[in-house]
Amino acid sequence: MIVKGPFFNQKKAAEYCGYSISTFVRKIRKYEIPLVGPDRNRFAQSLLDLWMEEPDFFNRQEKVRKRKFKKVLV
């Protein structure tokens, strides 16, 4: 995966992808798009392009919750 700029803040990334900021935030919660930069708060254009072309590449793996059962002494 090649990471190239320009680099966008969240608002500019939403505009670049053609979404409103609220829609963009809702969508990126479903995907693991790497954040870049010293503070890890920027989106790389190359990664946004890949996400728009192949969203399944960034699918967030659902964590399987294990149920804990209490032992009952009889």
Q: Please report the pLDDT score of residue 60 as a whole number.
A: 78
CA 30 to chain centre: 6
Position 67 scores a pLDDT of 62
Pair 46, 73: CB distance under 8 Å: no
> Which residue from 1, 62, 40, 39 is spatially nearest to 48, judged by alpha carbons?
1
Query: Taking the model in full, what pTM does it have?
Result: 0.76
Chunked into runs of 10 residues, the chain (74 residues) has average pLDDT values of 90 97 94 93 96 91 62 66
